[in-house]
Amino acid sequence: MLVSTLFFTGMNLLVKMVPNIPAIEIVFFRSLVSLVLSYGFLARLRISVWGNNKKLLIGRGISGAVALILYFTTLQVMPLASAVTIQFLSPIFTTILGIFVVREKVKPWQWAFFAIAFGGVLVIEGFDPRVSAFFGVIGIISALFSGFTYNLIRKMGTSEHPLVIVFYFPLVTLPVTGIYCYFFWVNPIGMEWLLLILIGVMTQFAQYFMTMAYQNEELSKVAPLKYFGVLYAIILGYVFFGETFNWLTYTGMIMVIVGVILNVWYKQRLTSRVI
């Protein structure tokens, strides 16, 4: 999950570097690259691209498409760290939905740790005037759909190869985004072509490692590790865009990281007791 987060952070940076390209068009390019890479790897491994759980795979593709389009939209209009932080509500939604979708249990102390992390998100949003209420809600909806997506991946377990799960995302997304691009195409210029291709490549690796994590470990244990992307976003946002925050916002980010570290430590402690 930590490796996946690194790749996702690189993708976030590149998305913000092409503000003139609509979010849906960026998703189209990302899906096109992912479809080609996924199919190529599956063909080389001689694995069927169609999978065993078609309904779950299609559902994962639809929910993932909605989440990504909304997320890319927030990346283009918000400071990098703010958009990333709102998206980091997804582990909380993942855990809550996991109670109903995959029947995973969450201990009372974990809810307390999630509350610390969620409180940190509220502090960040409350003291970042560059985030409007409308796009804040868009980001929250994106995080909700992400949480549902991760639960569908976990529900499939190891019955599907990670690349098959990744393959279904562009398979479902390309027709929808393709229709939009046909009518509202914005032609990339110069380096934008390369950046759009790199977005697809980096996302491919990020999705692969993320899928492996969700397939093989409990949602409530691995999902919060995505919060470490906040640190990456703060650094890259400052280096590339000169984005800074006040001390209250940084306090909120520390709360998020503390909540995550406490949750991971607690889960490891419980696991060691069982063993």
Q: Cα separations (Å) of 207 from 168, 184, 203, 204, 227?
A: 12, 27, 6, 5, 16
With cut-offs at 50, 70 and 90, classify the pLDDT of residue 271: low
Higher pLDDT residue, 221 or 204?
204
Domain boundaries, the chain: 2-274
| 120-143 tens-digit pLDDT | 878 877 788 888 878 988 998 999
Residue type, 58: I
What SS3 string covers 151-189?
A: HHHHHHCCCCCHHHHHHHHHHHHHHHHHHHHHHHCCCCC
Q: What is the mean pLDDT of the chain?
A: 87
| Residue pair 124/253 in contact by the 8 Å Cβ criterion | yes
pLDDT at residue number 160? 86
Q: Cα separations (Å) of 241 from 14, 20, 132, 247?
A: 12, 16, 19, 19
pLDDT at residue number 230? 79
pTM of the predicted protein model? 0.84
Number of C-beta neighbours around residue 230 at 10 A: 26
pLDDT at residue number 184? 94
Higher pLDDT residue, 126 or 26?
26
The first and second tokens of residue 251, run together, are: 């306090």
| 53-94 tens-digit pLDDT | 899 999 999 999 999 999 999 999 999 988 988 887 787 788
> Which pairs count as long-range contacts for 155-158, CB under 8 Å and 24+ apart, including other chains?
155/56, 155/101, 155/102, 156/53, 156/56, 156/57, 156/60, 156/215, 157/215, 158/215, 158/216
What DSSP string describes 209-227? HHHHHHHHS-HHHHGGGGG
Is residue 261 over pLDDT 80? no
Is residue 274 over pLDDT 70? no
CA distance 131 to 138: 11
**pLDDT mean over 12-18:** 94
